[in-house]
């Protein structure tokens, strides 16, 4: 006679286990590691019958430590670590055992307190890799006199060291000996917003930005995230909005430094909650650096003026083989606005998250994000004549862009798109400046002002 065996399984309910997730969430706004979103410049062909003769790059610094205010908030929420572990031990937490073990193993990194905003080893590797791939793609450019190469960082440790890393990757194994320009105390081309009164007063400390962020944090959706995190961790300490944001910072900074890109602090959030927290930074950057104001587009034009003048100088017999400029996510996003990229008809708003939005900082403002412009000299051989012409390729994060086709813009097309930037200046930064009615930026200013009056 066969025996009936009854097996009873006792299951403790938990949310999805972050530590065992085969593919954990990867997009963390401006703190997204470069390798998560980059392409590879080596995969794109040079236009037919062409050879690169000049490269101009604009680079955000690599992975860095958080700033002082963020560090303070992060350190405060680490005090929750023991309570998170105890809540699991008494059965009020919804975390899995592996995630709790991650909390037990967690140690605060004292380095970030004494080296706030400094470039990390991961950040150095990101910029070294970009330089290395350019060297492998365009080895013929790494010949000639040092004056044919120009590298310029802003006056911050993270951009200066990023520049060093890029040069290291670019020149390793060659006989090329180049130096970078000494950082300027004031840089009105690659960090013009620092000394622009209109930006500092109307934008960075203005109504629109603060209104949108306050609206986000007061929204039912964010309140739901806050409650979910509270319940998932099983805390008796009542979380507030600031603590939830600091937990998010713990998640995204520590995961960006870990070899496996994981952090126990990310277990506080479900994947859809991380998706929503990513939107918070998109809103912040949209109104601080992006299309939320007409000012940012005008600030971004200065860098594009430098690109245009760099390639035109080469065509006139001067110019450089490689120019590298090292800046910040603020500048990168302002340049995207000047170029009209990642723009939609309706303004981004805190209460209306579009999952398919074009303005997404994880993709456009990650660590080490960059614009690479390549000037190619081409040979055209007809039946009886031979002539030379030029084509310009434009890449963002080592991927092709809609600015120019992969076969490159003709010089006529390039000049048509970029010559208008040659008139860029900072006159509008004065609070007494009144935009001319014929200035396209003035219509943008009026439209945005009207939007805020009636919203």
Query: Helix (H, G, I), strand (E, B), or coil: what is residue 123?
Result: helix
Average pLDDT value for residue range 132-141 = 98
- 405-449 pLDDT, tens digit per residue, is 999 999 999 999 999 999 999 999 999 888 765 444 444 443 333
With cut-offs at 50, 70 and 90, classify the pLDDT of residue 92. Answer: very high
In 3D space, the residue among 114, 117, 115 whose CA is nearest the CA of residue 61 turns out to be 117
Burial of residue 138 (CB within 10 Å: 0-12, 13-18, 19+) is: buried
pLDDT for res 287: 98
Q: pLDDT > 90: what percent of the chain? A: 85
| Residue 400 DSSP SS3 | strand
* C-alpha span between 374 and 296 (Å, rounded): 25
* Residue 257 predicted with pLDDT over 80: yes
Contacts 24+ apart (CB under 8 A), 343-348: 343/291, 347/286, 347/291, 347/292, 347/448, 347/451, 348/282, 348/283, 348/286, 348/287, 348/290, 348/291, 348/292
Structural domain boundaries in the chain: 41-454
- pLDDT at residue 270 greater than cutoff 50: yes
Whether residue 398 contacts residue 130, with contact meaning beta carbons closer than 8 Å, is answered with: yes
The confidence score (pLDDT) of residue 13 equals: 41
User: In the chain, count of helices (H) and strands (E)?
Assistant: 17, 7
Distance spanning both ends of the chain, measured CA to CA: 78
CATH code, 41-454: 3.40.50.1240
Output helix, strand, coil percentages for the chain, rounded to the nearest 5. 50, 10, 40
Q: For residues 31 and 108, what is the distance between their CA atoms, to the nearest angstrom?
A: 19
pLDDT tens-place string over residues 3-47: 444 333 333 344 579 988 888 899 999 999 999 999 999 999 999
User: What is the chain's alpha carbon radius of gyration, rounded to the nearest angstrom?
Assistant: 25
Instruction: Report the pLDDT value the prediction gives residue 453, as an integer from 0 to 100.
Output: 28
Residue positions counted in the chain: 455
Predicted pLDDT at 437: 53
Mean predicted lDDT score pLDDT of the chain: 91
Residue 154, pLDDT above cutoff 80: yes
Contact (CB, 8 A) for 121 and 33 = no
How far, in Å, CA of 331 to CA of 160, rounded?
16
Would you state the pLDDT for residue 64? 98
What is d(CA 309, CA 302) in angstroms, rounded to the nearest whole number? Answer: 11
pLDDT tens digits along 207-235: 999 999 999 999 999 999 999 999 999 99
Q: At what angle do helices 157-171 and 121-137 cross, to 10 degrees?
A: 40
Q: Rounded mean pLDDT of 135-142? A: 97
Instruction: State pLDDT tens for residues 318-373.
Output: 899 999 999 999 999 999 999 999 999 999 999 999 999 999 999 999 999 999 99
Lowest mean pLDDT: which of 129-133, 158-162, 344-348? 344-348
- The overall pTM is greater than 0.75: yes
| 199: pLDDT strictly greater than 80 | yes
Query: In the chain, what percentage of residues exceed pLDDT 70?
Result: 91
Handedness of CA 300, 301, 305, 308 (dihedral sign): positive
pLDDT at 153 over 50: yes
């Amino acid at each position: 006679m066969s025996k009936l065996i009854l097996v009873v399984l006792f299951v403790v309910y938990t949310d999805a286990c972050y530590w065992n997730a085969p593919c954990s969430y990867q997009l963390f706004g401006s703190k997204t590691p470069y390798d998560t979103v980059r392409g590879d410049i080596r995969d794109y062909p040079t236009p037919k019958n062409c050879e690169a003769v000049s490269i101009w790059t604009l680079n955000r610094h690599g992975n860095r430590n958080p700033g002082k205010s963020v560090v303070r908030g992060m350190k405060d929420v680490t005090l929750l670590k023991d309570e998170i572990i105890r809540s699991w031990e008494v059965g009020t937490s919804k975390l899995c055992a592996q995630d709790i073990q991650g909390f037990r193993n967690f140690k605060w990194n004292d380095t970030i307190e004494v080296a706030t905003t400094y470039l990390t080893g991961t950040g150095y590797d990101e910029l070294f890799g970009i330089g290395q791939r350019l060297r492998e793609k365009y080895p013929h450019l790494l010949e000639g006199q040092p004056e044919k190469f120009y590298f310029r960082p802003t006056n911050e440790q993270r951009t200066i060291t990023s520049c060093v890393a890029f040069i290291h990757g670019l020149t390793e194994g060659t006989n090329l000996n180049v130096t970078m320009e000494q950082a300027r105390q004031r840089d009105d081309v690659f960090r013009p917003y620092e000394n622009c009164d209109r930006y500092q007063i109307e934008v960075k400390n203005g109504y629109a930005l603060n209104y949108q962020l306050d609206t986000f944090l007061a929204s039912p959706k964010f309140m739901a995230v806050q409650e979910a995190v509270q319940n998932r961790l099983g805390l008796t300490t009542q979380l507030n909005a600031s603590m939830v944001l600091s937990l998010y910072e713990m998640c995204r900074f520590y995961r960006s430094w870990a070899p496996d890109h994981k952090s126990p602090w990310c277990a506080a959030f479900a994947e859809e909650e991380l998706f929503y927290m990513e939107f918070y930074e998109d809103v912040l950057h949209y109104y601080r650096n992006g299309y939320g104001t007409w000012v940012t587009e005008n600030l971004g034009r200065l860098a594009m003026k430098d690109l245009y003048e760099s390639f035109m100088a080469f065509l006139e017999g001067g110019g450089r083989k490689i120019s590298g400029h090292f800046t910040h996510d603020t500048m990168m996003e302002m340049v995207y606005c000047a170029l009209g990229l990642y723009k939609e008809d309706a303004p981004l708003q805190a209460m209306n998250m579009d999952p398919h939005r074009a303005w997404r900082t994880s993709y456009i403002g990650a660590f080490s994000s960059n614009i690479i412009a390549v000037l190619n000299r081409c040979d055209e051989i007809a039946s009886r004549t031979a002539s030379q012409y030029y084509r310009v390729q434009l890449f963002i994060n080592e991927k092709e862009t809609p600015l120019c086709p992969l076969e490159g813009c003709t010089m006529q097309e390039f000049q048509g798109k970029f010559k208008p930037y040659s008139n860029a200046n900072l006159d509008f930064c004065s609070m007494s400046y009144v935009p001319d009615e014929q200035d396209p930026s003035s219509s943008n200013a009026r439209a945005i002002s009207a939007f805020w009056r009636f919203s």
